[in-house]
Structure 1
Amino acid sequence: MTTAGRRSSLWQLPAVRSLFALNVLGFLSYSVLISALPAQATRLGAGLTAAGAVTTVFLVATVLAQLAVPLLVRRWGLAPVLAAGLVALGAPSPLYALADDVRWLAVISAVRGLGFAALCVLGGAIAASVVPPERRGESLGIYGLAVAVPTLVTVPAGTALTLAGHFWVVALLATAPVAALVFVPRATRSVLRPGADAPAPDGRGAVRAALPPSLVLLVVTLAGGGLLTFLPIERPDGALAPVALLLFGLTSALSRWRAGVLVDRVGARLLLPAALATGVAGVLLVALGLTGRGGPAAAAVLTGALAFGAAYGAVQNLSMVLALRRAGTGPAATVSAVWNASFDSGTAIGAAGVGALAATGLGLPWTYVVVAALLALALPTAVVVGAGRERVSGSGPRPAAAGPPRRAG
């Protein structure tokens, strides 16, 4: 605590370094498949709706399991639950390469979703517990960088490998969470335990506090799910989709990291609405670019992906910091579950809903315009949440299971 309390580098903390490595490996499995798996489903003959449903099944299983993670940690402990989650996420991944039907892809995804839930809810526990509150945004920024780094490289790489007929390589790369097991002991050793005089947690209050910023996050991840799932399907030939996803991952990683430092210093009053407005512009540019071909159209898609990536990363960090601040010292495990459920629900809705709407005859470009309108409708909520004050609901250290959320992602 004392090391983190000074303005020294948080990278000096062994727990932060272990957490970074653990999440890079854990989220590599998520990001390498998020666009590759729907593309593989279409190669097996699935339509747009069925291809998006594979991602939806994975995320629905994740959301449902997230609600049980705090209970499992209280029963079995933080390290065993996190380790089991890493195994469940990584070990079944090679089975994707053996599947010849989209239904088997969905079954494997459901199992992996259970493991992903544990990583999502518990992955940020150390980031909140080893630094004082005034450095939490920076710590979560480092954590977000660990989650975003795999997105930077593996989303476009997984898509390119799958479109080139090398999906088996993607399936093997997705086993990376198993290697992350070696970092679990050091990453969990420094997590604070609740004191004997800690007040009873206000679970309902934490849910109410986390809902508004999580609603903003849900809309942004809905747009992200629609972009990551269907851009490679809409532009399967050439380098446009992989390059766009590379730019998306780059700006998402950098903005999530730097937004954490900025929110500690200047607050979220202007940052959250500005990030959301940038996302609106980015999605509109992608929609515009998909209506044409050639250099100007490609430039619009790439610029839009870059802008939306910046919004996507920043909103992740800002919304989680605001959710924790609004909950005060309430049960952060509950805040984490609400935040993560919103993230994954939004991504699942985007993966299924964008494809279903586009398949009605509206087409993907106009569907993205509808998505941009949804983002714009969330701007008033972002203004109110960003200007809100912290709610204090108790005192004392947080439980071991009380980590803030993650991603990425």
Structure 2
Amino acid sequence: MTTSLDSSARQADPARPPLVTRALLLRFVSIVGASIGFNLLLSVVPLYAQESGGGEHAAGLATGALMLATVIGELATPALAARLGYRPVLAAGLVLLGAPALVLTATGSMAAVVAVCLLRGLGFAITIVAGGALTATLIPPERRGEGLALVGVVSGLPSLIGLPFGVWLAQHVGYGLVLTIGAVAPLAAVASVPALPNGARAGGPSVGIRQGLRSGGLLRPAVVFASTALAAGIIVTFLPLAVPSPGVVAVALLVQPGASTVARWLAGRHGDRRGSAGLVLPAVLASAAGVLLLARTADPVAVVAGAALFGLGFGAAQNATLMLMYARVPAAGFDTVTALWNVAYDGAMGVGAVAFGAVAGGAGYPWAFVLTAAVTLVALVPAWRDRGTASADA
């Protein structure tokens, strides 16, 4: 009897399609190459610009040029993908991300630094938008949440290592080697692109950036995610300045991305089985509560707990909002979704860091964190409106 029941259950619940396929493994090559190329030089180029005689504002100018080009590139890439297809656009993005860095091995002039940052920003934007859309087509729809979480881990590990290692390598070996590695990693990854499945844009109705910006089903999750990304940029930038103990800061900045990774994975598995809409409100509440705990900057336990709680909320928000947005467009709109989601990410991080600095300068860090938590809670309005929204609503 037990054998018969087990057999019937297996017939009623056929095995899910495999998640890690040859195509996805090939895509991981370009994901890792792009992540190494971007993150290894993210802090190194601004430092190089300043030490090359660019002055006090050189670092900010370099990062500003990089992020400006990234946002512009994210908005422009869907049109390029619609015309050329994902595969050639992804290859072009990897080249733009890598090759310009070699220029800095010969000159550290401010004009060269800005030009290189602009080109690398465009390249990075192209790789994450076109590459992200292509990745979504390689993941079975019924396992998309889990697949996106896995992709987040694959891209996140190089960033976790690359950011500190790049600065250490530059200080101990010199800028030439680290700039070369940062250039070669994405260039080498270009070799994997021709082996990917046909990069042509998937069929179905087109969803452009303008149409996406008019769609409440896409804008609401993007706004919710932006509220948490705003806080994430603030934490990374200002926690080392606000918390008096370097050891506590180190633990908090290790706990936060670790908790985010775990939450992304759990949110992905939950979303595949029960849907992602129910995760958005708890993610916002956890993010805001975590930031509020960080306002107790002199309390080590509160700081570490706040970083962990925010990480859980931020990771869940990352996966849930992106899942909802993908579910509300045909495959031909995946590049638009990827662009809007990444613009929300990068734009909110930049705006949050600038605004927080201005508030903290007058009111102090604890009150600035309290205000940040309040701003995050504003996202409860679009999150509530989006609760239970069906895919067809967009």
Question: Which residue number corresponds to residue 90 of structure 1?
Answer: 98
1:136-151 matched pairs, under 5 angstroms: 136-151=144-159
In structure 2, do the counterparts of structure 1 residues 202 and 106 end up closer, same or farther at CA, with 3 Å as the change threshold?
A: closer
2:374 paired with 1:373: yes
Question: Which residue number corresponds to residue 153 of structure 1?
Answer: 161
1:308-319 matched pairs, under 5 angstroms: 308-319=310-321
The 3-state SS of whatever aligns with 1:369 is: helix
Q: State whether residues 17 and 140 of structure 2, in contact with CA within 8 Å, keep that contact through their aligned partners in structure 1.
A: no
Q: Which amino acid aligns with 1:370?
A: L
Question: Which residue number corresponds to residue 336 of structure 1?
Answer: 338
Q: State whether residues 256 and 316 of structure 1, in contact with CA within 8 Å, keep that contact through their aligned partners in structure 2.
A: yes
**Deviating more after overlay: 173-182 vs 81-90:** 173-182
2:56 paired with 1:55: no
Q: State whether residues 329 and 392 of structure 1, in contact with CA within 8 Å, keep that contact through their aligned partners in structure 2.
A: no
Task: Give the counterpart of 1:216 among 221, 224, 234.
Answer: 224
2:219 paired with 1:245: no
- The offset of 1:220, in angstroms, is 1.4
**Deviating more after overlay: 85-94 vs 119-128:** 85-94
Alignment partners' CA distance in 1, 2:47 and 2:310: 22
Q: State whether residues 31 and 155 of structure 1, in contact with CA within 8 Å, keep that contact through their aligned partners in structure 2.
A: yes
Question: Which residue number corresponds to residue 403 of structure 1?
Answer: none
Q: State whether residues 205 and 330 of structure 1, in contact with CA within 8 Å, keep that contact through their aligned partners in structure 2.
A: no
2:363 paired with 1:354: no
Alignment partners' CA distance in 1, 2:168 and 2:241: 12
- Of structures 1 and 2, the larger Rg is shown by 2
Alignment partners' CA distance in 2, 1:101 and 1:304: 41
Question: Which residue number corresponds to residue 184 of structure 1?
Answer: 193
Question: Which residue number corresponds to residue 225 of structure 1?
Answer: 233
Q: Which amino acid aligns with 1:354?
A: F
Q: State whether residues 269 and 387 of structure 1, in contact with CA within 8 Å, keep that contact through their aligned partners in structure 2.
A: yes
Q: State whether residues 19 and 140 of structure 2, in contact with CA within 8 Å, keep that contact through their aligned partners in structure 1.
A: no
Alignment partners' CA distance in 2, 1:321 and 1:382: 14
2:386 paired with 1:385: yes
Alignment partners' CA distance in 1, 2:201 and 2:262: 32
Q: Per-residue displacement from partner, 1:294-339 (whole Å, max 9, x unpaired)? A: xx43x43333223222222221111111112233566222222222
Q: Which amino acid aligns with 1:375?
A: T
Unaligned runs of 5+ in 2: 1-13
2:34 paired with 1:26: yes
Alignment partners' CA distance in 2, 1:245 and 1:390: 36
Q: State whether residues 252 and 309 of structure 1, in contact with CA within 8 Å, keep that contact through their aligned partners in structure 2.
A: yes
- The offset of 1:156, in angstroms, is 4.5
Q: Which amino acid aligns with 1:113?
A: G
Q: Which amino acid aligns with 1:120?
A: I
Q: State whether residues 21 and 180 of structure 1, in contact with CA within 8 Å, keep that contact through their aligned partners in structure 2.
A: yes
Question: Which residue number corresponds to residue 6 of structure 2?
Answer: none
Q: Per-residue displacement from partner, 1:105-160 (whole Å, max 9, x unpaired)? A: 54432221111110121122233213443222222222222222223333444566
Count of residue correspondences: 376
The 3-state SS of whatever aligns with 1:288 is: coil
Q: Which amino acid aligns with 1:313?
A: G
Unaligned runs of 5+ in 1: 394-409
Task: Please state which structure has a larger fraction of its residues in helix.
Answer: 2
Q: Which amino acid aligns with 2:304?
A: L
**Deviating more after overlay: 257-266 vs 226-235:** 226-235
- The offset of 1:390, in angstroms, is 0.9
Question: Which residue number corresponds to residue 264 of structure 2?
Answer: 256
The structure with higher relative contact order (CA 8 Å, sep 6+) is 1
Q: State whether residues 139 and 147 of structure 2, in contact with CA within 8 Å, keep that contact through their aligned partners in structure 1.
A: yes
Q: Per-residue displacement from partner, 1:250-287 (whole Å, max 9, x unpaired)? A: 22223223321211112223311111212112222333
Alignment partners' CA distance in 2, 1:372 and 1:319: 19
In structure 2, do the counterparts of structure 1 residues 371 and 363 end up closer, same or farther at CA, with 3 Å as the change threshold?
A: same
In structure 2, do the counterparts of structure 1 residues 237 and 70 end up closer, same or farther at CA, with 3 Å as the change threshold?
A: same
In structure 2, do the counterparts of structure 1 residues 45 and 300 end up closer, same or farther at CA, with 3 Å as the change threshold?
A: farther
- The offset of 1:57, in angstroms, is 2.9
**Deviating more after overlay: 364-373 vs 60-69:** 364-373
**Deviating more after overlay: 238-247 vs 336-345:** 238-247
Alignment partners' CA distance in 2, 1:172 and 1:237: 35
Q: State whether residues 206 and 330 of structure 1, in contact with CA within 8 Å, keep that contact through their aligned partners in structure 2.
A: no
The 3-state SS of whatever aligns with 2:295 is: helix
Q: Which amino acid aligns with 2:146?
A: E
Question: Which residue number corresponds to residue 10 of structure 2?
Answer: none
What root-mean-square deviation, in Å, do the aligned CA atoms of Structure 1 and Structure 2 show? Answer: 3.4
Question: Which residue number corresponds to residue 9 of structure 2?
Answer: none
Alignment partners' CA distance in 1, 2:67 and 2:24: 27
% same residue: 36
